[in-house]
Amino acid sequence: MRRSLCFFMLMVLVSCSNDDKDTNAIEETVVLGEVEWVKTFGGSGEDTAQSVIQTVDGGFAILGYSNSTDGDLAGKVLAVNDYWLLKLDSDGNLQWSKTYGGSKDDRGQAVIQTTDGGYAIVGYAMSEDGDGTNNEGFHDNWILRLDASGNMLWEQSFGFSGHDHSYDVVQTEDGGFFFAGFLDVTQSNGAGNFGRGAYLTRHGVGEFWGTKLDADGNLQWRRYFGGTNNDRAHGVVQADDGGFVMAGFSESDDFDISNTKGSYDFWVVKVDKNGSMLWERSFGGTGIEIAYDITKTLDGGYAITGNTFSTDTDVSNNNGESDLWLIKINDDGELLWEKTFGGSGFEAGQGLRETADGGFVIAGNSKSMDGDATENNRENDLWMLKTDAEGNLTYQQTFGGSQLDFAFDVLETNEGALILVGEIGSDDFMDLDFKGMTDMIIIKIK
């Protein structure tokens, strides 16, 4: 899960779909999609939700970031971005809320629940004060280990003098953690391959960067992968064999990257449990593809979502500008199928989970009111999609107002409902009490 918001906002200005549409099924399911509850949280500033999980007690934990100091953030002192973690009960009622950060820009991206009932949260931070104890320059990868009440057990920062971001994290089989993002390898001067030989390879600009910690936050190893241009990992899962699969995008066509398709491709890298590369694959067409999330499937494969501007090579269909793109690969990185969803405007996928029936639920964004997207509220809307196990669309629904609204993550609950999270910039969104520039939003659909 997770995501380069600046790049995404740029791409919004600039939508594609699926040959296997079942219009009757789509229309029928939209009618049946009933909103059970909607919750917004925030203050007068900018507030967003980037990641959601269902907790062991049946409630939900949501991680994002906020620069508000009032409203639901009353007591927060500085109007700068802090990690923001909220715990809700199963009905969406707030149980507790905590912020983590310092005097500079700190942005939470992903939350997981740990085996002891606590949490691990990751993102990127500029602060070296407050809750953070170290910063090497600009943004660093920042991971925090929390107890079940959100109290900090430990924190660690990893980076060099450039912009280094982390977007996703997993707890590993040995009780440690692995998180993925990107390294500004130009500013690190080739460093960043701890445990392998710090200067074995020197690429350029940005690299996929994976970091392995033990259960106490001690660095065990880290590796970067990429080429001479811009390469960023947005999501990671642990494979059945103990290795890790990272997904994001690549602009490069050299060094670690082969068989490229266009200017930007989905790029997927599998490493073993010690960080050695097993394989890498590029997917896309001659246009631009950006992958934002990956999920492991019940058959040991992987599904990946993002967006595509292409109409050729791996991309079979396109409805307009950018389409939400969903692909399925096996554990050897072979493409099994791909599907595009969208209309004549801009669509992209941001969050992805497998559902109990073997299908997929996707958190996306849409500006269309044609093709697969049947309704639009004049600007960018939150878009939720459900597919079967072969990627055929079975349900879609948009939520929005007259301004920019974005969905970033989604999950299927234990009882089969859907939870969608993101941010809204519309003061006319569902007639809700709008608090500020953007508000965090959580929607439950049954």
Tell me the per-residue pLDDT of 8-47, one tens digit each, with 9 for 90 and over.
333 333 333 343 433 333 333 333 579 999 999 999 999 9
Mean pLDDT of 214-235: 96
Longest dimension (CA), the chain: 57
* Residue 435, phi then psi, degrees to nearest 5: -100, -30
> In angstroms, rounded to a whole number, what is the distance separating the alpha carbons of residues 176 and 214?
4
pLDDT at 196: 57
- Binned at pLDDT 50, 70 and 90, residue 378 comes out as confident
- 3-state SS class at 29: helix
Tell me the per-residue pLDDT of 85-108, one tens digit each, with 9 for 90 and over.
999 999 999 999 999 999 999 999
Q: Please give the span between the terminal C-alpha atoms of the chain, in angstroms, as a whole number.
A: 23
pLDDT at 311 over 70: yes
> In angstroms, rounded to a whole number, what is the distance separating the alpha carbons of residues 150 and 275?
30
pLDDT at 389: 98
Tell me the per-residue pLDDT of 110-157, one tens digit each, with 9 for 90 and over.
999 999 999 999 999 999 999 998 888 899 999 999 999 999 999 999
Residue 346 carries which DSSP code? B
Overall residue count recorded for the chain in this entry? 446
pLDDT at 201: 56
pLDDT at 7 over 70: no
Cβ atoms of 238 and 173 closer than 8 Å: yes
Mean pLDDT of 397-423: 97
Task: Count the Cβ atoms, other than its own, within 10 Å of residue 27.
Answer: 11
Tell me the per-residue pLDDT of 164-223, one tens digit each, with 9 for 90 and over.
999 999 999 999 999 999 998 888 888 888 865 444 556 778 899 999 999 999 999 999
- Binned at pLDDT 50, 70 and 90, residue 293 comes out as very high
Task: Count the Cβ atoms, other than its own, within 10 Å of residue 340.
Answer: 28
Rounded to an integer, what is the distance from CA 319 to the centroid of its chain? 24
DSSP lists the bridge partners of residue 134 as none
Q: What pTM does this model have?
A: 0.92
